Amino acid sequence: MAGLGHRELRGFLIPWAFKMGQDYQLGTHLSKRCHTIKLTKDMDVKDKVAVITGGAGGIGLATARLFLEQGVRGVAVVDFSEEGLQLAKKELTDSRVIWVQADVSVASGVQKYMKETEEAFGRLDILFLNAGVEGVVRPMVDYPEDVFDQVIAVNVKGVWLGMKYGFPLLERSGGGSVIITSSVAGLGGTPAVSAYVASKHATIGLMRTGALEGAPHKIRVNTIHPSPVDNRMMRSLEEGFAPGQGAAAKENFTKMIPLGRYGTNEDIAQLALFLASDKSSFITGATYVVDGGMKA
Ligand SMILES: NC(=O)c1ccc[n+]([C@@H]2O[C@H](COP(=O)([O-])OP(=O)(O)OC[C@H]3O[C@@H](n4cnc5c(N)ncnc54)[C@H](O)[C@@H]3O)[C@@H](O)[C@H]2O)c1
């Protein structure tokens, strides 16, 4: 990245010709003192505070790591799984993280993670509503009603509660970004995962409503739609679609992806970072696929 000319930034007159990753001597035009800065590839999330639900899982933890690398002030990693949180804590040792055990599908759980975030960091800028469950793989006629209810509770009500209790905090911070993890399953049908498909379609309706209600308060809301990602959830679905033949199921799924591979947790984290950052400040109410061309 390079540019020519000058621009005023926080009292400095900056020579506007630079390259990423290099050190530059900058003089203030008042004092003539020199400062060294390193221009980095940051995505403008510096000093922001993020909540990531499902934060101990594959996509959530990769996103927490990326946000921290990019200089956020703090991250609340929220997850229902005590075991998942313990493992995640060993992987990610950073004093800017708070770990919150909470169930996103009940109001008390959501109020808990919002309260602990506000107590720890005093604000909220990025709300990544990412917790989700896959349910089971069965045709509708055999699909257990209690599993249907659980999938809807986590994947739909969890998102609704997140916005219900998160909007006031974001509003007090002067606005922010809500990112909801839907799926390619939110953009079309798939046999045998009716609850999951229905839940991921429903998040688009919540996102669109949230975008309209949030806009006057500078709160942006978008959904992201990953194709299969190489992590625990896909291992579970592969086994569900082809019991005992998970590897063959993976091969079949891969054939549906023009770029010829599953996504990685980091691929999804990069999109979340963009939507969390000020680089996307004019984007709201949108659905973003990150799917290797699967929906092309
Ligand atoms: N893995 C994929 O292929 C894929 C593809 C498209 C979309 N997604 C979506 O991505 C999101 C993240 O999933 P992942 O791939 O990282 O899988 P994952 O199973 O590793 O992560 C999901 C996390 O959500 C947590 N969780 C479940 N129920 C919860 C609850 N009630 N309260 C709080 N936390 C809860 C789990 O403990 C887990 O840590 C999900 O919404 C999922 O539906 C995943």
Q: List residues with catalytic annotation.
A: 196
CB atoms within 10 A of CB 13: 14
Instruction: Give the predicted TM-score (pTM) of the model.
Output: 0.89
Q: Show the tokens assigned to 54.
A: 């499902």
User: Quick one: 33 and 162 in the same domain?
Assistant: no
CA 110 to CA 102: how far, in whole Å? 7
Provide the pLDDT confidence category of residue 21 given band limits of 50, 70 and 90. very low
User: Quick one: 130 and 27 in the same domain?
Assistant: no
The amino acid occupying position 125 is D
155 Cα nearest atom in ligand 1: 41
At residue 42, the pLDDT reads: 53
Q: How far is CA 32 from CA 6, 15, 106, in A?
A: 16, 14, 57
pLDDT over 50 at 259, yes or no? yes
pLDDT over 60 at 6, yes or no? no
pLDDT over 50 at 25, yes or no? no
H or E element in which residue 50 lies: strand 49-53
What are the pLDDT digits (tens) for 121-155?
999 999 999 999 999 999 999 999 999 999 999 99
Mutate to test the pocket of ligand 1, among 53, 59, 238 (most ligand atoms within 8 A of CB): 59
1 in a structural domain: no
287-290 and 34-38 strand pairing: unpaired
At residue 8, the pLDDT reads: 32
219-226 and 287-290 strand pairing: parallel
Distance 45 CA to ligand 1 centre (A): 23
If you count them, how many residues does the chain have? 296
User: Quick one: 133 and 18 in the same domain?
Assistant: no
Q: Which domain holds residue 19?
A: 6-38
Mutate to test the pocket of ligand 1, among 160, 229, 290 (most ligand atoms within 8 A of CB): 229
User: Quick one: 25 and 144 in the same domain?
Assistant: no
User: Quick one: 117 and 237 in the same domain?
Assistant: yes
What are the pLDDT digits (tens) for 147-194?
999 999 999 999 999 999 999 999 999 999 999 999 999 999 999 999
The CB of 162 under 6 Å from ligand 1? The reply is no
CA 181 to CA 3: how far, in whole Å? 36
Provide the pLDDT confidence category of residue 36 given band limits of 50, 70 and 90. very low
The CB of 58 under 6 Å from ligand 1? The reply is yes
Provide the pLDDT confidence category of residue 18 given band limits of 50, 70 and 90. very low
